[in-house]
Chains A and B, each alone.
Chain A
């Protein structure tokens, strides 16, 4: 059957011809999945104030990271030429976020997820979207103003966070005799602080400002202490999907280049936010300014205090 190679050849040539116009947008991985299904699934949190949280009965997330996530969706709509792309929301917790991204339930997760080496084994991170320092929340006017004041005291932090690791390591290295309490979420950590079970709450400074804003009397509390580490938050995407990661990165860098990011920042950190209309009064840090000038997807450099 000498004819077969001919037909095959023609078929290949034809296929090449047909596919040439779209080859620039040859879709693979997540982009193909989004294109074929017409939906994109966003992972969000429920109480990471002001990054990604639920503020009203609608159950839809709001927040700084969420606005960035929406900008990513807009960019993908343009890339795929799909103005009516459907958006699904999927609530994640600190325990479920990584597996849900890996198994394809969630396409992109923007919340308050620190980019670190362990997680980078499992997922890819977008360019950084925020940079925090790990600090303390204590009672205004108390004698607990820095980590050295906490020897032999009860200190609370949220289970499964980098702060937990840092403070436990510090306790062991410097033999400070602190009692470290690991609460199940930020709300409960703050409750431990407010009820007097702990004298200080160690966490990411921006989240501390968020918890403070929820307090009965926000002026009773202040964020203090030398930052023990700097951490960069990123959006999580599936590993080894460079096309989708690039689409996400480009969308975020676009916000940085156009200056749109300043508007989003101001909306969540220097203006009243839902649900209580409180203002976090948390100006942009020099670290975040640097990150916005030089967007990159690296974890923050290790800094031993």
Chain B
């Protein structure tokens, strides 16, 4: 295959202002991290609430959470993103719609769509993990708390959740990494995160393989460090004798 390799391409000028291609990657990485962190906070809070809802002894409450999970887990992420980006703004009242579409910076509106989309999507998955975490605990935990006179919120807050979270740290870690990888859908609604900048670099420079190789390395390094960080947290919060840590 006759391809002209040029690894120096990242230091070349993009022709836009004084930026080099490397500057684009740096700003893209910033957006990727920003989207992922905000979406993860939404997912963790909402997912925990839903996870608790699925386990409480109340049919209606647990059904609501189940319906939520099935809807958000079974519709493709990209379809959900297009709904949030193209459809939902059109449902706003007329004057709010105009402000949202024209006066609000397009990057801001794309950012809002993507964090809401990714947050709600991931919440469905976090919910399932919180639920399994709670259900994995021995029934005696809840019964003992009840016998000691704890109210339902207290049982969850003081007894069940602190143990459940510790159990589910490993699957929660992969969900956390998924958020970073899934954040690349933002490139399809014009938000210049890491993948969008990579594609732009590939198009402008015609050095496609270099562009995507660098992006691969950045995603890999980012996710690898996050994984190690989560490992560390898991060790730090471990309760001796409760569960084994790090698979060892």
Contacts and interface: CB of A to CB of B under 8 A. Distances in A.
Contact of B1 (A104, A172, A192, A240): A104
B173 interface: no
Contacts of A238: 2
A191 B2 contact: no
Interface string B184-204: 000111101000100110111
A165 interface: yes
Given A179-B107, A197-B106, A121 B206 contact: yes
Interface stretch (B38-46, B97-105, B225-233): B97-105
B16 A103 contact: no
B213 to A, nearest CB: 13
Q: Is the interface of B mostly helix, strand, loop or mixed?
A: helix
A39 interface: no
Interface residues of A, number: 37
A239 B2 CA distance: 7
A47 to B, nearest CB: 15
B157 to A, nearest CB: 44
Nearest to B90: A195
A173 interface: yes
A173 B105 contact: no
A95 B203 contact: yes
A247 interface: no
A160 B3 contact: no
Contacts of B101: 195-197
A38 B105 CA distance: 54
A197 B1 CA distance: 43
Contact of A182 (B4, B98, B190, B202): B190
B190 A119 contact: no
Contacts of A182: 190, 192, 196, 200
Given A195-B86, A195-B101, A197-B101, A159 B206 contact: no
Interface in A143-159: 154, 156, 159
A106 interface: no
A122 B202 CA distance: 12
A243 interface: no
Contacts of A160: 199-200, 202-204
Contact of A196 (B98, B105, B190, B207): B98
6 contacts: A154-B106, A168-B16, A169-B15, A172-B16, A182-B196, A184-B189
8 A-B pairs closest in CB distance: A160-B203, A172-B17, A118-B206, A168-B16, A181-B190, A103-B1, A181-B106, A119-B206
